[in-house]
Structure 1
Amino acid sequence: MLTKYNPKTDITQFGQLKTSEFRKVRQNLQANEAIDEETMEILLPRKKTIQLAKCRDHISLLIVDDVCHFLQTRDTPFVPSLRVLHRYPNILKHVQVDKGAIKFIIRGADVMCRGLTTPGAVLGDFEKNEVLAIHAEGKQHAIGIGRAIMSSEEIRSVNSGIGLELIHHLGDGLWKASSFDY
C-alpha cells in the first residue's frame, strides 16, 4: 500500500492535529491496542505538537518530532508505524511467516495463506480485519504490518489465496522517509 509512497509529492494536507481529534485518537489507540498510559505518553505526548499529514489514497499519518508514529488507511484505525513497532514490539498481535515469504513481503506483496501455515510459520488466533505485525522466521523485528483478509481459522481451513493485506513494510516509501520537516 505504501510501496511507492513519497512524502514530498503524496502529502496533500499537513497541519497540527486539533485537541479534540488528539483526545479521540489517544482513546481509540488505548482501547484497540495494548498500549499502556506510560508508553502512550512517549508516543503521543500531550505537551508536544502532533502533526497530521493527509496523503493520497486515503492515508493519514500522525507525526511527532518529524517522525511518523502512527498511520491510518481507509480500512484500518490508526496503527503504529514499523519504527514504533520495533521499539514496542508487543503493541500488536503478530504472525510469523516462513523464510520463503520474506523477499516477497519486502517487495510489497500481500501475505499468502501458505506462507502462514507452512513449517517455520506461526499463525496464532485473530479475527478478520484485525491489524497484525508480520514477523519472519529467524528475524527479531517485524518486517511488515498487515490487515487480516480472513480469520486465522479460515486461513487454516482454506490454505490458499491472500491471508493478509500488506499495509506497511520494510523498504517502502514511509520506511525510507527519514523525516517530515515541513
Structure 2
Amino acid sequence: MRIAYLPSPISHLTLMPYKLVSLEAWKPREAAQPVEMTDAGALPEAIPKEVHLLLDGSANMFKKEIQTAPKSKLKSSVQRSLRQSLLTSYPLLHRYIDEILPKKGSLEAMKLPDRCTLYVLDGEPLFFQHDTATLLPHLKLVHRFPAAFPSIRIDRGAIRFVLSGATLMAPGLTSAGGRLPSGILTVRAEDGAGEGLDEEDRWTRELEKGEPVIVRAEGKTEACAVGFLVMGTKDVKDKGKGPVIEDAHYLGDGLWKLGTD
C-alpha cells in the first residue's frame, strides 16, 4: 500500500502594494490529509470527485522561492520586437499596449532560474518567458487587464490544488463549476482583433494545445494561474480526463512573491 499526500494550504501572503489581492479568500477550509492509494494507483472511493490532480505531483519552475536578480535595460529595438510579439500572441492587447509598454518607457529584463526571463517596467512585472517560448503574462498584469487574455475556469474543488502547483486536470474544467470556450466565435466591434469574447468578457474561441491561457476560478474575481495548454479545449471536452496545464505560474508561487522594485 502506498501513501500519497494531498497538498497543504498556502499561507497568507503580503502582496505588491499596487494591486491588493488577498489570498485569504483563496485558502481551503480543511488541512490536507494523507490518502491511501491502491496498488493500481487509483483514488479510493472516499476521495471527493472534486479532487482533480496527479498524485505523483509535477515539478513547477516557480514552486520554490526565487532570489531577486539584477535587472538590465533593453535596447529600443528589443523592446519593439517584444511589443510586436505580444500583439501577435495576444491580439486583444491592442487596446492596452500603449499603457502596458509606453513608447518612452524603459523596459528591463531580470534573469531567473531555468532559463527564464522576467520583463519589468518601473518595478512592475509584466511578462516572463522560458528560453524563446511565447511570452506569458505575470498574474499581476492579468489582474490589471483581465479581458486581454484567453481564459478558462476551474471549479471550486480544483482551486486548492492549482494554488499548490499541482497539474490541472480535465475534470476540474468539465464539471458544473468549470467553464471551457463554447467554440462559437463571437467578435465584438470594440475589440477589433478577430478574437472571441462574449458580452460578459468570457472567452469563446476553442484553444489549441500549446496556446497560453489564463485560469479563472468559480466564485472568484481574480485569475489564479497562467500557463500553456497541454491539451486543446475541444479535446478536454471530448475526453474529460488527463492533464490540461502543467508548470503553471499561480497565486502565491515564487514568481508572485519575487521582489521587482
**TM-score if structure 1 supplies the norm length?**
0.90
Higher RCO (CA 8 Å, separation ≥ 6 residues):
1
- Residue 117 of structure 1 is matched in structure 2 by 174
Mapped partners of 1:93, 1:144: distance in 2? 12
Other-structure match for 2:72: 15
Contact 1:128 1:148 (8 Å CA) reproduced:
yes
Richer in helix (by share): 1
- Listed as ranges, the matches of 1:29-178 within 5 Å are 29-33=86-90, 34-37=92-95, 39-74=96-131, 76-124=133-181, 125-177=206-258
Q: CA deviation at 1:91?
A: 1.5
SS in 2 for 1:7: coil
Aligned-residue CA RMSD (Å)? 1.6
Amino acid at match of 1:162: P
Moved over 3 A (4+): none
Q: Distance in 1 between matches of 2:176 and 2:133?
A: 30
Query: How many percent of aligned residue pairs carry the same amino acid?
Result: 32
> 1:25: Cα distance to partner?
0.4
CA drift at 1:75: 7.1
Distance (whole Å) between structure 2 residues aligned to residue 23 and residue 75 of structure 1: 16
Report the Cα distance in structure 2 between the residues aligned to 1:110 and 1:17, rounded to whole angstroms: 34
How far apart in 1 are the matches of 2:123 and 2:134? 21
- Change beyond 3 A, Cα 1:7–1:88: same
What's the CA shift for 1:74? 3.7
- Cα deviation code 1:132-156 (max 9, x no counterpart): 1100001111000021001112112
Give 2:153's aligned amino acid.
Q
| Other-structure match for 2:260 | 180
CA contact (8 A) 1:143 1:170 kept: yes
Secondary structure of the corresponding residue to residue 104 of structure 1: helix
- Name the CA distance, whole Å, in 1 between partners of 2:93 and 2:110: 23
Q: Which moved more, 1:45-54 or 1:140-149?
A: 45-54
Change (3 A) 1:42 1:7: farther
Unpaired stretches in structure 2, ≥5 consecutive residues: 1-60, 182-205
Superposition TM-score, scaled by structure 2 size = 0.64
Secondary structure of 1:109's partner?
coil
Shift of 1:41: 1.6
Structure 1 residues not aligned, in runs of 5+ = none
